Amino acid sequence: MTSQATSPSPTCPAEALSRRETSRELLFALALALWILAYVVLSFLTAAMHEDDLGLLGGTRLLMLPLLAAVILILTTLWLLMRGVMCRWSLTAAVLGAVGCVIVNQVLHALMSPEPGREVQTVSLFGFANVALIGASLFIGRLIGGRVERLSWVVPIVLVVALVDCWSVFFGPTGEIVEEIIEEPARAEVGQRLLLWYPNLTPTRPEGLAVKPSFGIGDLIIGALLLEIARRFGLRMGITLLALAIGSLAALVAPALIASLHGLPGFPALPLMGLAFIAFHWRGLEFNRREITLCVVFLVALFVLLITVVNPLLSRIMPGGAG
């Protein structure tokens, strides 16, 4: 009697897909855990080293700690966004996730004092609020990115968000918010709600302002949007993450390296993030001259509208005016 060797059955496609999805979910959980770990360690490390003046790091041997902290938080935030984009989310889950995260973020800030202390409870509440802000940005960016039909839309999208970000930072509400953070960080309630905020690392006195919040909700949404575009059109995610990180870090250090930028309220990150995205994916992108030309015409009209109509309106609404 001859024995017939049995060959291993091929892996079922559905089973392989399930394993892949499980792996992506685990990596997303790992990215979230890493972000939380970095946030907690950096917050309490600063607190432990400066019990008399937590966060006042200038003029000490720890002068580089604020920059190191900002870099670590930027990189872990971008990695968390990328891992979130890589997971599968249904349209319903994305919408509910965005709404839920926004509600959680706002409720947590409503429970906190506008002059945050440095105790464990405050650091924990701000940590949960930051995670909710990242989550809201992730879902909103994915929802918008899911509506992008062609790669040729990337350049017009980048041009529009770059112009709006430059206007907002140099002439509009973002510059006002950042100036409030610099002058009265403890009372910058709008800044605390719309930017990633780090107790201990963002001290409550202007002279101790070691780490300014590096990401606003707009930066996070566009970061998630570009990551979603890269995922949908098969662009390399690692290269995309590297491009966004370089753009974000360049915006972080630009005011310190360029003398003419000293004294400005901030430096817009989105133009550099978008430029880096296009540069790193230059060969894989599509360019439509007609779309780009129409976008440039639209940008000129938009800029005129922002300067002549929106700025005067903001000057009446916001204390100190816009532009």
Mean pLDDT over 63-90 rounds to: 84
**Contact between residue 191 and residue 173 where contact means Cβ atoms under 8 Å apart:** no
10 assigned to some structural domain: no
Helix H or strand E encompassing 190: helix 189-194
Cα gap 203→234, rounded to integer Å: 42
Length of the chain: 323
**Per-residue model confidence (pLDDT) at position 51:** 46
Q: Say yes or no to pLDDT of 58 above 60.
A: no
Residue 216, Cβ density class (10 Å: 0-12 exposed, 13-18 middle, ≥19 buried): buried
Residue 12 falls inside a structural domain: no
Q: Report residue 213's pLDDT band, with 50, 70 and 90 as the boundaries.
A: low
The model's pLDDT over 120-160, given as tens digits with 9 standing for 90+, comes to 777 788 888 889 999 999 999 999 998 888 888 898 889 88
State pLDDT tens for residues 95-121. 999 999 989 988 887 887 656 555 677
Q: Is the pLDDT of residue 15 over 90?
A: no
User: Does residue 1 sit within a domain?
Assistant: no
DSSP category for residue 59: T
Q: Which domain holds residue 72?
A: 23-317
Is residue 232 one of the residues assigned to a domain?
A: yes
Q: Is residue 18 part of a domain?
A: no
Q: For residue 300, which amino acid is it?
A: V
15 in any annotated domain: no
Residues 302-313, mean pLDDT to the nearest whole number: 71
**Which tokens belong to 105?**
């973020």
Q: What is the CA radius of gyration of the chain?
A: 22
6 domain residue, yes or no: no
Residue 216 backbone phi and psi in degrees, to 5: -105, 170
Q: Is 4 inside a domain boundary?
A: no
Residue 80 burial class via C-beta count within 10 angstroms: exposed 0-12, middle 13-18, buried 19 and up: buried
The number of distinct structural domains making up the chain is 1
- Selected residue with higher pLDDT from 189 and 149: 149
pLDDT at res. 2: 47
Average pLDDT over residues 225-233: 94
